[in-house]
């Protein structure tokens, strides 16, 4: 058996929630390894809808261990609120089924405020963040001034660490003409929330090592998508962490060889939330139609997603940078009934042609997509559970995508229901 890492292979919102839920039913441990509560997964199980932001998808299944790894930035107030919400849906969350890395960094009120101030400022670049403090928290982590989960265990030493943190933040706030943060107030907030978080804290790396020795199957659950990766994405319109599969090891405390099969989640078209380049974006009735049929609104923010045709250039690149072994192709049914379907197979920037996404943001903004046009299908793919249920032209479209991106389809999703999934290759089997 192999462990599986699931990552988004576009700009996020690819339908990871359903696929991770489908896989988590067969896993023993489910690990979040990066991001924060800016992520969003919607799960529908036995008619009940669960909307998760920070908690791993395995939390809704009995007998599974859910883990928040050290690569995650944790807002303790958002986490406790999310725990209470799913408790109301009958899901118990205890230290027996949830472990939080004691070396994970915390998102504080000062991070949320800074994020909001930057995004609403009249100067500077608008990055389209969720304003939840994720970016500033990662900045403090790299700057070695973050407050971590383990710091909550020692109230006596917390004051000095808060002073070190605020020596940076209050200087920023003075420069922005904003009142400084009261260190005593922040200390009081952390002291109050600590008892709700500390029972879950522990050495995640050790729990994963124990799972490895016991032969348990581990599912590593990524957030956002590979094109939002801080290094490999459309910088600066990216998230503040690495979203590619290599982060699954570093962000959870295990070795790279412990990551077995890498499954990339890919929509049959393309969407993006927030600012930044989007070569295949459609500003016409076709884009509106895709968005309406696909219910393209963010799980966390409710923001309308930008929609466009499938970009094979972009996904071929994320297959390489993400180490993707196979893809789960989702939302194929959204394309039912289109007379023709386009696929981007190249980029033009002025008189230059590219078969990859140029790294310069100026070049990215000037891209003209080169399209192939494919015949659509009149039959329906909605709810299909075998290849025999698919129209021939839909199969032809799938095969062309495989050829263009250089990766096979391992799973095919044909509706939001977890049962409407065609298994081509079991990711857990080597």
Active site residues per annotation: 13, 41
> What is the C-alpha to C-alpha distance for residues 31 and 29, in angstroms, rounded to an integer?
7
* Cα–Cα nearest to 412, from 343, 297, 340, 329: 329
55: helix, coil or strand?
A: coil
> What is the C-alpha to C-alpha distance for residues 12 and 130, in angstroms, rounded to an integer?
13
> What is the C-alpha to C-alpha distance for residues 26 and 1, in angstroms, rounded to an integer?
11
> What is the C-alpha to C-alpha distance for residues 295 and 28, in angstroms, rounded to an integer?
32
How many beta carbons lie within 10 A of that of residue 337, not counting itself? 13
Is residue 30 within 8 Å of residue 64, measured between CB atoms?
A: yes
How many beta carbons lie within 10 A of that of residue 416, not counting itself? 17
* Cα–Cα nearest to 265, from 224, 306, 313: 224
189: helix, coil or strand?
A: helix
Is residue 221 within 8 Å of residue 16, measured between CB atoms?
A: yes
User: Dihedral of CA 402/317/326/24: which sign?
Assistant: negative
């Amino acid at each position: 058996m192999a462990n599986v890492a699931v990552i988004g292979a576009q700009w996020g919102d690819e339908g990871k929630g359903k696929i991770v839920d489908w896989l988590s039913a067969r896993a023993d441990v489910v690990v979040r390894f990066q991001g924060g509560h800016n992520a969003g997964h919607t799960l529908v199980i036995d008619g009940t809808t669960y909307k998760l932001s920070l908690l791993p998808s395995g939390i809704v299944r009995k007998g599974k261990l859910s883990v928040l790894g050290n690569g995650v930035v944790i807002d303790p107030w958002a986490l406790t609120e999310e725990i209470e919400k799913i408790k109301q849906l009958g899901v118990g969350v205890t230290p027996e089924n949830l472990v939080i890395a004691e070396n994970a960094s915390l998102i504080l009120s000062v991070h949320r405020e800074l994020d909001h101030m930057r995004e609403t400022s009249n100067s500077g670049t608008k990055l389209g963040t969720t304003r939840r403090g994720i970016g500033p928290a990662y900045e403090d982590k790299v700057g070695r001034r973050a407050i971590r989960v383990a710091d909550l265990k020692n109230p006596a030493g917390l004051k000095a660490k808060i002073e070190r943190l605020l020596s940076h933040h209050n200087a920023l706030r003075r420069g922005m003409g904003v009142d400084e943060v009261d260190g005593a107030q922040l200390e009081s907030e952390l002291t109050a929330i600590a008892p709700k978080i500390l029972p879950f804290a522990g050495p995640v790396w050790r729990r994963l090592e124990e799972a490895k020795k016991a032969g348990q199957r581990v599912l590593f659950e990524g957030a956002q998508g590979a094109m939002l990766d801080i290094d490999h994405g459309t910088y600066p319109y990216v998230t503040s962490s690495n979203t590619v599969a290599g982060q699954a090891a570093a962000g959870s405390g295990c070795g790279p060889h412990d990551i077995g099969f890498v499954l990339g989640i890919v929509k049959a078209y393309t969407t993006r939330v927030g600012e930044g380049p989007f070569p295949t974006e459609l500003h016409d009735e076709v884009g509106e139609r895709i968005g309406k049929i696909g219910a393209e609104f963010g799980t966390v923010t409710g923001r309308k997603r930008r929609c466009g045709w499938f970009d094979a250039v972009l996904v071929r690149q994320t297959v390489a940078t993400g180490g993707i072994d196979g893809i789960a192709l989702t939302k194929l049914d959204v394309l039912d009934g289109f007379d023709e379907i386009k696929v981007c197979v190249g980029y033009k920037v002025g008189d230059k042609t590219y078969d990859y996404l140029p790294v310069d943001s100026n070049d990215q903004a000037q891209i003209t997509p080169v399209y192939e046009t494919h015949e659509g299908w009149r039959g329906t793919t909605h709810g299909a559970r075998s290849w025999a249920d698919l129209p021939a032209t839909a199969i032809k479209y799938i095969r062309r995508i495989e050829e263009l991106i250089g990766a096979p389809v391992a799973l095919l999703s044909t509706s939001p229901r977890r049962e409407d999934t065609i298994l081509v290759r079991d990711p857990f089997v080597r």
